[in-house]
Amino acid sequence: MLLSLPEDSQPVKDMFERFFAAESPTTRVRAAEPLGFDPALWRDLVALDAPFMRLSAEAGGGGMSLFDATVMMEQAGRRLAAAPLAESLVALRILGEVGGEAAREWIEKLRDGKTMLSLALKPVTDGKPQLVPGGAVAHGILVLDGEQLFIETPETALDAPLTLGGNALGTFKPGQGKRIPLGTNADAAAIYAAGIEEWKLLTAAALGGLADEAIKMAAAYATERVAFGQPIGTYQGISHPLANDIIDADGIKLLLWRALRDLSDGKPEAGAVISEVFWWAARTANISVAHALHTFGGYGLTNEYDIQLYHRRAKSWAQAYGNPEAELTRAGRRLYQNEAASLPDPGLVEIDFAAPDTSNNALAEETRAVFASVIDPARHRLGEHNFESFSWDVHQALGKAGLLFPQWPVKWGGRDADEESARAANAVWHEVGWAGSPRGTTGLAANMIMKFGTPALQDEVLLSFAQGKATVCLGYTEPSGGSDVFAAKTRAVRDGDDWIINGQKMFTSGAEWASYVLLLTRTNPDVPKHKGLTVFLVPLNLPGIEIHPVHTFMDERTNATFYADVRVPDRYRIGEVDGGIKCMSASLSEEQGGSTYHYQIHEMLDAITCWAATEERDGMPFMQHPGTLTSLAKAHAAALISEGLCARALWTRIAREPDQVYGPASKIFSTQAFIDYSAELVDLAAPHSLIRGKTGLGVVEKGYRHSTATSIYAGASEVLRSMIAERRLGMPRSRA
């Protein structure tokens, strides 16, 4: 796994970050309007050989990987570079691949810093005009007519209509200028088509940079601007949309990296992911910059403020190709109808999402064998994601083999497994369909004990956890507190070497199975609420504890738990007295970063595609209907982004990189995607999707009901959005 910028790509980012900051400030962007072209910037780019960097070394170029080209384009987008860089990169790469004398002559001609070559984004038909990015300043336009590539040189400069976002759009009427044929390469159409796919990726990268910069501009303004006596960033109506937007902007980069990785690996779905990231980048840039402009209020509408420059370009760069939403239908055809696509060679791609290899890993094979020896499909509840599916015999069989927590030290019942082997073993749980929810809550408590518990407590409980003899449930939420767990009123009062606990907890899921509850208590009522908390591991067999079932419409049981004069020895205290905030922060960060809801979205997609094989919609096969393909592609893209965000949270821990609240970010996106797309998939297959069941479309119905509560688990999304705004965007605290 590698989910941070590779070391070899860092100099590319640094160089172009400095270059565009210096050579494309907003004063220069404004000066380039209304046309949207800065001749001096273009000369400087040519001097750097930037347009030639995707051209092969054999053809006189830099041979830059497509990954590094997207790194460059992200920086160009961040500074709204007024030059047709993406179009030139692609056009020059096509010239190098086609070869021939005419191509070589144009490559050399373009080195003067004055001659411009742009790219018609759609195959041409004589007399049918199309708008060409950079066409208004181009001396030549690369076109595909039928199976033949040409450079068409306009007799006069193209008309340059006043447009939404500049980018030197010119009205090109094919066939009215001189045409220079580019050889007779039989694969010309495929080379051109691959070039257009590359242009989509480069444009998506630029939109990602644009969106990220606009969001940060808005966050900075919201921190400074005061209204009603407070910085406007304290208002959740301002901070929460921006928090969502920065997560979605991260999704652009991660989905872009996924597309590049899939291209490098030759995966069949690579073409579909290109279409999805192009749509997602256009959609996210548009929404993010709209929120950013709104943050500036009336000032954002004025020409003096820079945010309007971002707003207009966010809605125009991708649209030069047409409606980005149409890419979803294309993605659907590529995913579900095996539509072929000509794709670019990305070159070196070091980014690696690396789903663990469960087929060639000894620990995974051993885990699979234990499951096979104990699982009885007729008796055990597979494919369910709740505590009711728990079974002691399965849990203890895994514990006996040291496979509940294989990454733990041997002394505590683990296997000292390396990270990759532990991931592979854990992936088998999803493969088998065994949720084993108490393992998650027990592991969370155990990690807290490893970090903050005394050696005596560690020796007492950790081995029993790993051996499957004991489990832990979580006692955080209270009836009056909801997601504000730090408002806990359950009291713990010192009495010699013991503590006396009184209070009530709500939604203590798994308490009916658990041996202990990880209990958050108030030990000092006279200090701010987050300072007077202490965490205990409370044995549930102590006198004074009652467990009352609470049933939900997701067919799940949770519990209300009551504590009346429960005497707990001090050895069960975790961390310092009144130091619970430190323990809880570490615990919640881990819980929020472990989302696996993308698995369930994929399961729902599989269920619908299987069901749809013999279905029709509006007189055509269900899987050929554009509405079907669009809905499925949206859900597929969301699942990939969710997976990427969760993988990044894990990678940050593995690589010990600074954590910019990536766990909460993954949790916000994953749960909202699960909620949104389970609802959309129910709609797509309605009314058949209304019938409950454990197979077929029952998976969709069950997923919809399960999704509803996920934005509440492990901290409500509203609380997490405030965390993102504060810790990622530097906005003021939005809670008292």
Ordered domains of the chain (ranges, CATH)? 7-190 (1.10.540.10), 472-586 (2.40.110.10), 593-727 (1.20.140.10)
Q: Could you tell me if 718 and 483 are in contact, meaning their C-beta atoms sit under 8 angstroms apart?
A: yes
Tokens of 128: 């049918």
Question: Given a cut of 60, is residue 66 above it in pLDDT?
Answer: yes
Q: Tell me what pLDDT residue 677 has.
A: 96
* Spatial contact of 466 and 390, defined as CB atoms under 8 Å apart: no
Q: How confident is the model at residue 732 (pLDDT cuts 50, 70, 90)?
A: very high
176-233 confidence digits (pLDDT tens): 899 999 976 668 999 999 999 999 999 999 999 999 999 999 999 999 999 999 999 9
Q: Quick one: average pLDDT of 311-320?
A: 96
pLDDT attached to residue 299? 94
Tell me, what's the pLDDT at 592? 52
Higher pLDDT, 653 or 273: 273
CA angle, 38 as apex, 33 and 42 as ends, to 5°? Answer: 160
The full DSSP string for 577-639 is TT-HHHHHHHHHHHHHT---HHHHHHHHHHHHHHHGGG-EETTEEGGG-HHHHHHHHHHHHHH
664 or 481: which leads in pLDDT: 664
Q: What's the whole-number mean pLDDT along residues 107-133?
A: 93
**Cβ partners under 8 Å of residue 253, min gap 6:** 74, 208
pLDDT of 591 > 60? The answer is: no
- Read off the tokens for 4: 């941070």
Task: Classify 596 in phi/psi space as left (phi over 0), alpha (psi -120 to 50) or beta.
Answer: alpha
- Whole-number Å distance between alpha carbons of 353 and 356: 9
Nearest to 313 by CA among 121, 79, 119: 79
Degrees to nearest 5, angle at CA 536 with 532 and 540: 140
Length of the chain: 736
Residue 7 CB coordination number (10 Å): 9
Read off the pLDDT of each residue in 120-148 and give the average, rounded to a whole number.
93
CA dist 43 to 39, 68, 136, 511, 554, Å?
Answer: 6, 21, 17, 69, 62
Locate the DSSP E strands across 140-244: 140-145, 148-153, 170-172, 178-181, 226-227, 230-231
Side-chain half-sphere CA neighbours of 195 within 13 A: 31
* Confidence category of residue 660, pLDDT binned at 50, 70, 90: confident
Q: How far apart are CA 297 and CA 301, in angstroms?
A: 7
